[in-house]
Amino acid sequence: EGTRHKLIDLLFQNQDSYISGQELSDQLNISRSAIWKHMNELKKAGYEIEAVTNRGYRIVNLPTVLSEDAIRWGLETDWLGHHLHYYPSVTSTQNIAHDLARDKASHGTVVMAGEQTKGKGRMKRYWDSKQNAGLWFSTVLRPKSLEPKNATQITLVAAVALAKVMSNYSIPVRIKWPNDLFIGERKLSGILTEMQAEQDQIDYIILGIGINVNHDKNDFDQSIVNQATSLKIYAEEQINLNDLFKSVAKEFELQYERFIEQGFKPIKSEWESYAYKMGEWLKVRAQGEWNAKLVGIHEDGALKVIDENGQEHLLYSAEILWS
Ligand code: BTX
């Protein structure tokens, strides 16, 4: 494992040129035939490696399936994902991230899974997380200066980051309050933020993100097949999960730092620019049923609406009947 890891590092450092078998064998302190065996294993794992006589080896393409090495390569973050744990199958990455955080895992630690057998949504709902079809990961965050009452803002920061990444992929997403990304009327992605706090201080936050990526329509559970979508269904092509994660990690880190430095204001206006049904009339079921126009978001994460008399209301857990 350690050798393979170093081999991948060396290949990656030399990705713009070639590295000779002799040099690899010197640096790794193993025989040429052992190098050759490792190369074959890498190829089996989906790495595309070019071998040219008299020049050496060069990495051409990363595997499309997730792995710790393939994720780490070319990850352009300062801290997010520098500690990364990948598991082919888990109950929920949230559970593992909680365990690691209780065990003092550092800010930015990521737990990623190939599949989740008990993926969690909010309020004990489930999250359908099929094998290698999407990105299912949880990040440990330790915001030192954030008050517990503002922890919900992290969900909004993440939503803005995801929306920006999707826009870069030319995917027209909207953020549906409080925590989902939609393409049209279908859910593409969900965010689950869980917090551990003592008195007035956040101990840690586990930010869970699920993105449906390479699902075909029939890959979703029957119960959600008419309300879910994936990037592949929309874009009609496979998306490399490793690349997508790197984009999300970089953008989230950027937005998170901006949020910590500048507060909620810049996030708020971007969130509003992506908001699903912004400016539209909705039905609200809170102390009776009434019509409300969505006008924005409040800094405590509440949804800001006006009623038919023009009076403003902040909605928290109130049921909004979106359609
Ligand atoms: P939510 O409560 O807003 O959404 C859950 C609801 O969405 C479900 O009740 C179901 O109707 C629908 N749904 C379930 N799975 C999917 C899916 N794959 N695509 C579209 N719709 C679906 C949203 O909760 C928060 C989800 C966070 C998921 C991440 S994945 C990594 C981390 N680990 C974990 O267990 N949860 C988070």
Instruction: For residue 38, give the CATH number of its domain.
Output: 1.10.10.10
Expressed in angstroms and rounded, the spacing between residue 133 Cα and the centre of ligand 1 is 14
CATH number for the domain that contains residue 289? 2.30.30.100
- Residue 227 confidence (pLDDT): 97
CA distance 279 to 184: 16
Which atom in ligand 1 lies closest to the alpha carbon of residue 128? 15
Q: Is the CB of 230 under 6 A from ligand 1?
A: no
Instruction: State whether 299 and 203 are in the same domain.
Output: no
Q: Please identify, by atom number, the ligand 1 atom nearest to the C-alpha of residue 123.
A: 2
Helix, strand counts (H, E) of the chain: 9, 14
Ligand 1 near 187 CB (within 6 A): yes
Give, for all 323 residues of the chain, the pLDDT tens digit.
788 889 998 998 888 889 999 999 999 999 999 999 999 999 998 899 999 999 999 998 888 889 888 898 889 999 999 999 999 999 999 999 999 999 999 999 999 999 999 999 999 999 999 999 999 999 999 998 899 999 999 999 999 999 999 999 999 999 999 899 999 999 999 999 999 998 889 999 999 999 999 999 999 999 999 999 999 999 999 999 999 999 999 999 999 999 999 999 999 999 999 999 999 999 999 889 999 999 999 988 889 999 999 999 999 876 888 87
Same domain, 135 and 111: yes
- How, if at all, do strands 281-285 and 201-212 pair? unpaired
Q: Which of 37, 61, 85 is the last residue of a domain?
A: 61
Are residues 164 and 288 both part of a single domain?
no
Do 289 and 316 lie in one domain? The reply is yes
Q: Could you say which DSSP state residue 318 is in?
A: P
Are residues 225 and 81 part of one domain? yes
Instruction: Tell me which amino acid residue 173 is.
Output: V
4's tokens = 């393979």
Domain co-membership, 116 together with 164: yes
Query: Are 116 and 183 part of one and the same domain?
Result: yes
Indicate if 310 and 260 belong to the same structural domain.
no
Query: Of 188, 214, 78, 204, which Cα lies nearest the Cα of 140?
Result: 204
Q: Best of 98, 112, 127, 162 to mutate for ligand 1, by most ligand atoms within 8 A of CB?
A: 127
Q: Which of 257, 274, 291 is the last residue of a domain?
A: 274
For ligand 1, is residue 210 a contact (CB within 6 Å)? yes
166 shares its domain with 232: yes
Q: Does 189 sit in the ligand 1 pocket, CB within 6 Å?
A: no
Question: How many distinct structural domains can be found in the chain?
Answer: 3
Q: Are residues 205 and 310 in the same domain?
A: no
Nearest atom (ligand 1) to Cα of 228? 20
Radius of gyration of the chain (CA): 22
pLDDT at 244: 96
Pocket of ligand 1 contains residue 116 by CB under 6 Å? yes
What is the predicted pLDDT for the residue at 74?
Answer: 85
Q: Is 255 in the pocket of ligand 1 (CB under 6 A)?
A: no
Measured at the CA of 222, the angle between CA 217 and CA 226, to 5 degrees, comes to 55
What ipTM was reported for this prediction?
0.99
Residue 178: asked if its preceding bond is cis (omega within 30°), the reply is: yes
Asked if 145 and 225 sit in the same domain, the reply is yes
Looking at the structure, tell me whether residues 29 and 166 fall in a common domain. no
Domain that holds residue 296: 281-321
CATH number at residue 111: 3.30.930.10
Residue 301: per-residue pLDDT? 84
Sheet of 319-321: strand order equals 312-315, 303-307, 289-297, 281-285, 319-321
